[in-house]
Structure 1
Amino acid sequence: MPELDDKTRTELEAAAFRRLLAHLRARTDVQNIDLMNLAGFCRNCLSNWYLDAAKERGVALTKDESRVAVYGMPYEEWKAAYQSEATPEQKAAFPGPGSH
């Protein structure tokens, strides 16, 4: 791998993150519980990590604002439009709170 300066590395990481967000926004059929069960993180995790990064840098950002940054809309709006009730199998596989 070529040696990257910090600016280029940050730009590449930001581009990859934006592409991940676009992919997740397009794949509304993939439920957060599925992401958690398979990968150990979900859209809410990403929004929390985004919020943590903002706080570390002294940026005033709310939880709702961080969720809009990830979901592309208010979370409650996304839930109403795209979230379905978890199946018993999904619930059984869910690692539970605090596991991520």
Structure 2
Amino acid sequence: MDNQTEIEAAVFRRLLKHLDENKNVQNIDLMNLAGFCRNCLSKWYVAEAQERNVDVSYDKAREFVYGEPYESWKVKHQPKATAQQLAEFNSKMVTGK
């Protein structure tokens, strides 16, 4: 690996660590603020693996991103979205902003 790739990999690991240390930050909050969430990272992981002819399932990618099986993480750390969170998310989906 060249330095650029090593740095990018380290940044990605740091992002995952940061998200893991901040489980209170919900995916819907990430979507509302930044337009991506942990599930998006998982989908990007699968897409990049496929580009390199590496077979990675979405479930395995989510386990990598979440640090445990998604369903387990969800039960432990994901409360039901509030009406306000959903309204903000839905308004962005309609307007695209």
Higher fraction of helix: 2
Could you tell me which amino acid in structure 1 is paired with residue 52 of structure 2?
Answer: R
Q: Are 1:41 and 2:50 counterparts?
A: no
Runs of 4+ in 1 over 4 A off after TM superposition: none
Within 5 Å, give how 1:27-38 maps onto structure 2.
Answer: 27-38=22-33
CA displacement at 1:69 relative to structure 2: 0.9
Could you tell me which amino acid in structure 2 is paired with residue 51 of structure 1?
Answer: V
Aligned residues: 93
How far does the alpha carbon of each residue in 1:17-71 deviate from its partner, in whole angstroms, 9 at most, with x for none? Answer: 0000000011110000000000000000000000100011010111100001100
Task: Name stretches of at least 5 consecutive residues in structure 1 with no aligned partner.
Answer: 1-5
TM-score by length of 2: 0.91
- Aligned match of 2:85 in 87, 90, 96? 90
CA displacement at 1:96 relative to structure 2: 3.6
Instruction: Kindly report the root-mean-square deviation, in angstroms, between the aligned alpha carbons of the 2 structures.
Output: 1.5
Task: Name stretches of at least 5 consecutive residues in structure 2 with no aligned partner.
Answer: none
Identity of aligned residues (%): 56
State the distance in 1 between where 2:42 and 2:2 align.
23
State the distance in 2 between where 1:26 and 1:96 align.
28
Could you tell me which amino acid in structure 2 is paired with residue 66 of structure 1?
Answer: A
CA displacement at 1:81 relative to structure 2: 0.3
- Aligned match of 2:63 in 46, 68, 76? 68
2:11 is matched with 16
State the distance in 2 between where 1:19 and 1:47 align.
15
